[in-house]
Amino acid sequence: MSAAPGNALVARRLGIDSHDEAIAYVRADCAVCRSEGIGGHSRVTLKVGSRAIIASLSQVTESWLAPETIGLSDAAWQRLRLATPVPVTISHVPPLASLGLVRRRIFDSNLTEAEIRAIVSDISQGRYSDIQITAFVTAVAARPFSRAETVAMIRAMIDTGQRLTWPDEAIFDKHCVGGLPGNRTTPIIVAIVAALGLKIPKTSSRAITSPAGTADTMETLTTVCLTLDDMRRIVDAQGGCLIWGNSVEFSPADHAMIRIERVLNFDSPSSMIASVLSKKVAAGATHIVIDIPVGPTAKVRTEQDALALEHLFLETAAAFDLTLHIALTDGRQPIGRGIGPALEARDVLAVLSNQADAPPDLARKACQLAGALLEMAGKAGPGHGEALASQTLRSGQALARFQAICQAQGGLKTLPVAPHQRPILAACSGRVLQIDNRRLARVAKLAGAPGDKAAGLDLHVRLGDRVHRGEALYTLHTDSPGELAYVLDYIDSNPGIVAVG
Amino acid sequence: MSAAPGNALVARRLGIDSHDEAIAYVRADCAVCRSEGIGGHSRVTLKVGSRAIIASLSQVTESWLAPETIGLSDAAWQRLRLATPVPVTISHVPPLASLGLVRRRIFDSNLTEAEIRAIVSDISQGRYSDIQITAFVTAVAARPFSRAETVAMIRAMIDTGQRLTWPDEAIFDKHCVGGLPGNRTTPIIVAIVAALGLKIPKTSSRAITSPAGTADTMETLTTVCLTLDDMRRIVDAQGGCLIWGNSVEFSPADHAMIRIERVLNFDSPSSMIASVLSKKVAAGATHIVIDIPVGPTAKVRTEQDALALEHLFLETAAAFDLTLHIALTDGRQPIGRGIGPALEARDVLAVLSNQADAPPDLARKACQLAGALLEMAGKAGPGHGEALASQTLRSGQALARFQAICQAQGGLKTLPVAPHQRPILAACSGRVLQIDNRRLARVAKLAGAPGDKAAGLDLHVRLGDRVHRGEALYTLHTDSPGELAYVLDYIDSNPGIVAVG
C-alpha cells in the first residue's frame, strides 16, 4: 500500500554499525508511528523518493533522539543512499509471502524452484531480518538441499545478482572448501596460470569460520573492493584478478546468508556448494579445480565424507555444464606457516619470490592445483601440469604476473606487523604427533584474525618434526595486550593443540 | 578471565527497546575497546560490581555518543540492574562451549541431558544472541526433539527457573495448544473449578503466533505481572489465579525461545510440549487438561496429527508423573465472537455474567473442559463434570470467584474500546461454508492485536449460518486509520476468509 501523506520523519545518520542490518530508531511517542499503528519491533518500509527499503524498528524513550526524527543505522542509511537529513516516509511492510515457504521448508517439505526464487529474491533485497535469515540458513543445514533445490538455489542466486560473460571458450577458476588454516594457494595459482595465458577471473570471500579468507589476505597486499567493470578490465589485461566477491555483487542473497553463517560458525555442504558454484557461474567460469582437504581436524574429516562431497559437487555442476577437477588433499595439518591475513600474505610473497625460507608445502600444493588447471586447459599433457607450474614459479614469471595484477588492482601495499608477539613453547621433548587444525584456527581468531589483519600465528613445526622442551611450537601475533592475555588463557585450558610426545 | 583494571566506561541509558536483546553501544574509537582488542559485532561481558551480563556490541561513529561512555539498550540496563550512570567494565566473553552443541544438533546427532542442560543454562542466562537462539529453535523444529531430549529439555528448563510446591495432593491446570482464534476458555474454567475448591495456579503466555494469548486478554481486565509470592498468596486464598507466566520466571530460557518463535511465527510440537509441560511442572501441577482443536485451518489439521500430538504429550508427561486428559475439540471455526485481547475479555465476562447474548459455544466448551478437571478431581462422577460446571456458571459462583481473583490480582479494569470500527460485508447471499482460522487471525493481527489491546475483530457468523448479501460477516476494530487501510488491503487481496456460497 502507498504511504499516507504527512507520515514523514527527518532522517538522521546515527553511525551505528549494526552488522549490515537496516535498523530505524524512532521515539516511542512518535506521532507518525502512532497514527500508522506501527509498534516496536515491527518491520517497516522506509521510502525516500522512489527508493524503498525494509528496516527493523527500535523504539527509543530517551531524549537523545528528537521526536520527529528517524535515526538510521549505517546499513539503512547506505541502502537508502542518503547524504543529507531528508524526510523519510515510514509505513507497514506488505506481508512477506516467502516467510511461509521458509516455515514449510523447516517443518514439511522441499521447495520448488519458484519457491526458492521467492525466498532468495526477498533476501537479496534486504527484506529478511537477521532472525528470518538465520531460520532459513539453519533449516537447510539441518535438512540439506536436495539436488533440485541446490540447482534452483544457484539459478536464483545468479538471477538476483550481477553476471560476467567472456568471449573465450574456457574460463578457469579455483576453490577450496576450507577447514585448513593457512593453505593460501589461490594467489599463487592465479599468478601461475595467468602468466601462462589462462583467463581466471577470481573472486574470493572473506573468512566465514576461519582466521582468514583469500580476500582478507589479498587486502593486506592490494585493493580487493573493485567494481565489475574494474574486474573485467583487469582480467582482460592480466588474465587474472584477486578481488573480494561481495564487492561485485554476484549474489547479494549469498552475502546475507554467509554473514549469518559466520556468526553461527558453520557452513553446510549443500548450501556451501550453492554458494560456491553460483559465484563461479556468475563469474563466467567453465573449468574449476576444487580443493577438498581431508583430515581428522579439517572441515572434511574422512575420505568417505570427501567422496560424498565430491559427488554432490559433480552432480550439481553437471546442471550448469561446468567441468570440475576435484582434488582430495592432505588436511592433517596447516599448509604454510602463517595463519592470519598478513602472515599468510607473507608466505605467498615468499613462495612467489622463490625465497630460500619459503614454506615448501605451500609452493608444492599451489603447483599441484595450478597444474590441474593447466592440464584442463591443454597447456600441459596429463601428469605434466605440476612441472610446468613449478617452472613458471621458479622462473619469476608468476611473481611478475602477481605484481602486475596487484598494480592493476591499485598497487602493492606494505604488510602490517603485529606489535605483540609471543612464542608458545613445547612442554616436553619428542615428535610432533598431532596438530589440531580447528583449535589452532581458534587460537588465531582469538588473537584477532581476521579482524586485525596483522594478527594470527606462525606455526614453526610440522607433523613428525623432532622438537626439544622449551622450543617454540608457534608464535602468537596480536594487536593488543588484552587479546594476548585472552588467547594465552585459551591455550592454557586447551593443552595439546600441537601435541608432542 | 578477569577484566584488566581501567577498562571501564560510563553507562548511559539509551532507552532503546531492542526486543529483549542486551546491546551495548560504544564509540568505534573507544580507547578501552582498542586496548582490549574488542571489535564491532563482538559479544562482550559487561560487569558492574559482582553482576555480569553478556551483550552484543555495536560500534558508533557519530558524536551523539560520547567517547568514554557505553550506551545500553533497555534489556542491558535492566539486566545489570542499573539506576544511575555508573562505570561498567567491558571484556571478552569466554568461548561458549554450548554453541558447539547447537552446531552438532543441527548437523549430526541428538543431545544428551547434560548437553541440553548446558544450552538451556546459557540461554537462560542471556548468553546467546538472537541469531544463536534462532539457530537452536530452528534446528529442533526441523528435526524434532526425541522423547529423551524433550524430557531433558523440560528438566533443564525447570532447573534454571523458579518452582512452586504445594501441600495439596492434586494441583490442576489447563492448556490449549492454540491455533483457534478466540477460544478464550481459560478464565472461565479457572473461575468454575476454583469456585468448586480445586487448586489451579494458572500461568499463561502472551500470544506467540495468534492475535491474543490468555495473558494478553487477562491484562485488559486486571494485573497479570505478579511475583511468585503474589501467586502463592492468591492461589492459597482463591484457589486460582490468572497471571502471566514470564513474570514468575518459571523458565527464562523458554521465555527467550518463545520470543524468537513469535518473530518466526511458528512453534514446533516437541518444543511446544517441552515449553508447556516445564511450566506446568514448575507451577506444581499434577493433573492437566490439554485442549487440542482440530480443523483444516487450525494449528492441528487432521485427527491423525492430533493423535500423534496426544501420544507425544502422554509419553512425555509419564516421565514427570503428570496425569493428562487430552481433549480433541472441534477446530473448524473460532470459539466465541471476539478475536483480540479486549474483545475476547468481553466474551469471557458475558459468559461469566450469564448475559443473554453471551456466545454459547464459548460457554459450552469452557464447561466441557472444566468438567474434565472436575471428574479428574473426583468432584463429579464420570460423564457428570460438564453439568456441574454448567451449574456453577449459571449460579453466579464462577463470576463471583472470577471477580475475587481479579480483585486479588489488583482489581478489575474497564475494557478499552477501539476508536475505529468497520464491518466487512458478505459479497453474496448464501450459507457460511468455511471460515479460515489462519487468515482470520492474520486479519486481527494486522488490525493491531495483540499489541493494541482493543484491536481485533468481532465475528458475527458461524458455519452453516444463512447470510444475505451486504450483511456484516465480521467487524474490524483498530486503533489507527493507518492500520484500518492496511487490513482492508489484505482482506481485498484475500477473498473468502469467511466463505459464503
Three-state secondary-structure class, residue A421: strand
Closest CA to B403 of B188, B248, B170: B188
Q: How confident is the model at residue A40 (pLDDT cuts 50, 70, 90)?
A: low
Mutate to test the interface with A, among B64, B130, B257, B271 (most CBs of A within 10 A): B64
Q: Does A139 touch chain B (CB under 8 A)?
A: yes
Closest CA to A38 of A75, A9, A18: A9
Q: Are strands A456-459 and A338-339 parallel, antiparallel or unpaired?
A: antiparallel
Closest CA to B416 of B372, B440, B448: B448
Nearest CB among A15, A64, A107 relative to B61 is that of A15
Q: Does A109 touch chain B (CB under 8 A)?
A: no
* CA of B326 vs chain A CAs: smallest distance (Å): 24
Out of A267, A347, A361, A479, pick the active-site residue: A267
Cell of B275: 515449553
Q: What pLDDT is attached to residue A4?
A: 37
Q: Does A383 touch chain B (CB under 8 A)?
A: no
Three-state secondary-structure class, residue B8: strand
Determine whether the interchain pair A58/B14 forms a contact, defined as Cβ–Cβ distance below 8 Å. Answer: no
Residues 6+ positions from B441 with CB-CB distance below 8 Å: B181, B209, B210, B211, B339
pLDDT (tens digit per residue) in A152-168: 999 999 999 889 999 98
Q: Residue A399 and residue B415: Cα distance in Å, rounded?
A: 79
Q: Residue B293 and residue A417: Cα distance in Å, rounded?
A: 66
Q: What is the pTM of this model?
A: 0.86
Determine whether the interchain pair A483/B36 forms a contact, defined as Cβ–Cβ distance below 8 Å. Answer: yes
Determine whether the interchain pair A58/B16 forms a contact, defined as Cβ–Cβ distance below 8 Å. Answer: yes
Cell of B82: 542499573
Q: What is the mean pLDDT of residues A3-19?
A: 78
Closest CA to B412 of B206, B246, B242: B242
For chain A, what's the residue count? Answer: 501
Lowest-pLDDT range, B38-47, B163-172, B469-478? Answer: B38-47
B residues 45-84 closer than 8 Å to A (CB): 58-62, 64, 74
pLDDT (tens digit per residue) in B178-222: 889 999 999 999 999 999 999 999 999 888 778 999 999 999 999
Q: How confident is the model at residue A247 (pLDDT cuts 50, 70, 90)?
A: confident
Q: Residue B140 and residue B106: Cα distance in Å, rounded?
A: 8
Determine whether the interchain pair A28/B17 forms a contact, defined as Cβ–Cβ distance below 8 Å. Answer: yes
Beta bridge partners of A426: none
Q: Residue A318 and residue B384: Cα distance in Å, rounded?
A: 69
Determine whether the interchain pair A448/B37 forms a contact, defined as Cβ–Cβ distance below 8 Å. Answer: yes
Chain A residues in contact with B216 by the CB 8 A cut-off are none
Q: How confident is the model at residue A43 (pLDDT cuts 50, 70, 90)?
A: confident
Chain A residues in contact with B448 by the CB 8 A cut-off are 37
* CA of A137 vs chain B CAs: smallest distance (Å): 8
Q: What pLDDT is attached to residue A251?
A: 86
Nearest CB among B60, B143, B489 relative to A143 is that of B143
Q: How confident is the model at residue A444 (pLDDT cuts 50, 70, 90)?
A: very high
Q: Does B34 touch chain A (CB under 8 A)?
A: yes
Q: What is the mean pLDDT of residues B221-244?
A: 96
Closest CA to B121 of B79, B157, B95, B80: B157
Q: How confident is the model at residue A6 (pLDDT cuts 50, 70, 90)?
A: low
pLDDT (tens digit per residue) in A209-232: 789 999 999 999 999 999 999 999
Mutate to test the interface with A, among B91, B264, B265, B420 (most CBs of A within 10 A): B264
Average pLDDT value over all residues in chain B: 93
Lowest-pLDDT range, B28-32, B251-255, B346-350? Answer: B28-32
Q: Does B478 touch chain A (CB under 8 A)?
A: yes
Q: How confident is the model at residue A63 (pLDDT cuts 50, 70, 90)?
A: very high
Determine whether the interchain pair B141/A452 forms a contact, defined as Cβ–Cβ distance below 8 Å. Answer: no
Query: Is the confidence at residue A5, as pLDDT, over 60?
Result: no
Nearest CB among B19, B106, B266 relative to A103 is that of B266
Query: Is the confidence at residue B376, as pLDDT, over 70?
Result: yes
Determine whether the interchain pair B4/A482 forms a contact, defined as Cβ–Cβ distance below 8 Å. Answer: yes
Q: What pLDDT is attached to residue A2?
A: 36
Q: Using an 8 Å Cβ cutoff, are A289 and A325 in contact?
A: yes
pLDDT (tens digit per residue) in B33-43: 776 767 666 78
Chain A residues in contact with B479 by the CB 8 A cut-off are 37
Residue of A nearest to B62 (CA): A15
Determine whether the interchain pair B130/A132 forms a contact, defined as Cβ–Cβ distance below 8 Å. Answer: no
Q: Does B93 touch chain A (CB under 8 A)?
A: no
Chain A residues in contact with B135 by the CB 8 A cut-off are 134, 137-138, 264
Nearest CB among B58, B74, B137 relative to A16 is that of B58
Instruction: Answer positive or negative: Cα dihedral of A389, A354, A358, A403.
Output: negative
One DSSP character per residue, A200-229 reads EEEEEPPPSSSS--HHHHHHTTS-----HH
Nearest CB among B14, B15, B35 relative to A480 is that of B35
Q: Residue A310 and residue A305: Cα distance in Å, rounded?
A: 9
Q: Residue A253 and residue A137: Cα distance in Å, rounded?
A: 11
DSSP strands (E only) in A169-299: 172-176, 200-204, 240-244, 287-294
Determine whether the interchain pair A39/B451 forms a contact, defined as Cβ–Cβ distance below 8 Å. Answer: yes
Residues 6+ positions from B143 with CB-CB distance below 8 Å: A142, A143, B105
CB neighbours (10 Å) of residue B254? Answer: 30
* CA of A260 vs chain B CAs: smallest distance (Å): 8
Q: How confident is the model at residue A119 (pLDDT cuts 50, 70, 90)?
A: very high
Q: What percentage of chain B has pLDDT greater than the value 70? A: 98
One DSSP character per residue, B438-490 reads HHHHHHHHHTTTTTSTT-EEEE---TT-EE-TT-EEEEEEES-HHHHHHHHHH
Residue of A nearest to B135 (CA): A138
Closest CA to A420 of B201, B368, B37: B37
Q: Using an 8 Å Cβ cutoff, are A454 and A342 in contact?
A: yes
pLDDT (tens digit per residue) in A386-402: 999 999 999 999 999 99
Three-state secondary-structure class, residue B324: strand
Determine whether the interchain pair B138/A143 forms a contact, defined as Cβ–Cβ distance below 8 Å. Answer: no
Q: What pLDDT is attached to residue A178?
A: 87
H-type alpha helices, A57-185: 74-79, 98-107, 113-124, 130-142, 147-159
* CA of B74 vs chain A CAs: smallest distance (Å): 9
Determine whether the interchain pair A14/B64 forms a contact, defined as Cβ–Cβ distance below 8 Å. Answer: yes
Determine whether the interchain pair B138/A142 forms a contact, defined as Cβ–Cβ distance below 8 Å. Answer: yes
Q: Are strands A420-425 and A472-478 parallel, antiparallel or unpaired?
A: antiparallel
Q: Residue A455 and residue A343: Cα distance in Å, rounded?
A: 8
Residue labelled with grid coordinates 554453541: B99
Residue of B nearest to A33 (CA): B482
Q: What pLDDT is attached to residue B35?
A: 67
Query: Is the confidence at residue A270, as pLDDT, over 60?
Result: yes
Query: Is the confidence at residue B318, as pLDDT, over 90?
Result: yes
Q: Using an 8 Å Cβ cutoff, are A127 and A261 in contact?
A: no
- The amino acid that residue A206 corresponds to is R
Instruction: Answer positive or negative: Cα dihedral of A488, A489, A494, A495.
Output: positive
pLDDT (tens digit per residue) in B126-158: 889 899 999 999 999 999 999 999 999 999 999
Q: Using an 8 Å Cβ cutoff, are A158 and B124 in contact?
A: no
Closest CA to B300 of B323, B274, B330: B330
ipTM for this prediction: 0.85
Out of B74, B122, B267, B452, pick the active-site residue: B267
Determine whether the interchain pair B14/A479 forms a contact, defined as Cβ–Cβ distance below 8 Å. Answer: no
Compute, in degrees rounded to 10, the torsion defined by CA atoms A295, A297, A301, A302: 40
Q: Residue B444 and residue B455: Cα distance in Å, rounded?
A: 7
Residue of B nearest to A43 (CA): B263
Determine whether the interchain pair A131/B134 forms a contact, defined as Cβ–Cβ distance below 8 Å. Answer: yes
Q: Examine the residue annotation and report whether A357 is marked as an active-site residue of this protein.
A: no
Q: Does A98 touch chain B (CB under 8 A)?
A: no
Q: What percentage of chain A has pLDDT greater than the value 90? A: 78
Mutate to test the interface with B, among A35, A105, A138 (most CBs of B within 10 A): A138
b/e A310-348 (16+ beta carbons within 10 angstroms → b): bebbeebbebbebebebbbbebbbbbbbbbbbbbbbbbb
Lowest-pLDDT range, A350-359, A425-434, B87-96? Answer: B87-96
Q: What is the mean pLDDT of residues A403-420?
A: 96
Q: Residue A215 and residue A211: Cα distance in Å, rounded?
A: 12
Q: Residue A110 and residue A146: Cα distance in Å, rounded?
A: 8
Closest CA to A230 of A281, A310, A317, A164: A164
Residue of B nearest to A450 (CA): B39
Query: Is the confidence at residue B4, as pLDDT, over 50?
Result: no
Determine whether the interchain pair B37/A483 forms a contact, defined as Cβ–Cβ distance below 8 Å. Answer: yes
Q: Using an 8 Å Cβ cutoff, are B228 and B241 in contact?
A: no
Closest CA to A266 of B101, B266, B143: B101
